Amino acid sequence: MPTTCSPSFERLGEDRDRHRAVGDYAGATRLLMDILCQDLRCIDAHAHLGNWELERSPARAMVHYEIGIRIGELSLPPDFDVRTGRSWEESHGAGERARRGSR
């Protein structure tokens, strides 16, 4: 399941914003990397790092974006349909159960 950084990461996020506000990108990056050391699934941290890297190194930015995409993909049910945004069960399950007379 992807995470947008649990409440235990909120303080680090606030510290990151303070570093970034004064132009301390190294400090902000270090805090995001600390978050990722605790939980590599933090999609928000990968997105921030990708955004910050984009101007300097698009290739490095793409690494963070790709990691975020893969985390999201691995979090979807195996029968997820990208066209509808729903799994087979969500799309058809209730109708199938009603037709079979079960709930």
DSSP states of 55-96 as a string? TT-HHHHHHHHHHHHHHHHHTS-TTEETTTTEEHIIIIIHHH
Alpha-carbon dihedral sign for residues 22, 24, 28, 31 = negative
Q: Return d(Cα 10, Cα 91) in angstroms, integer.
A: 35
pLDDT, tens digit, for every residue of 43-60? Answer: 888 998 998 889 889 999
Give the tens place of pLDDT for each residue, 60-80: 999 999 999 999 888 888 777
Domains and CATH numbers, the chain: 7-78 (1.25.40.10)
pLDDT at position 64 is 94
Nearest partner of 64 among 28, 34, 40, 37, judged by Cα: 40
CA 54 vs CA 36, 37, 49, 90: distances in Å: 19, 22, 9, 37
For residue 97, the one-letter residue type is: R
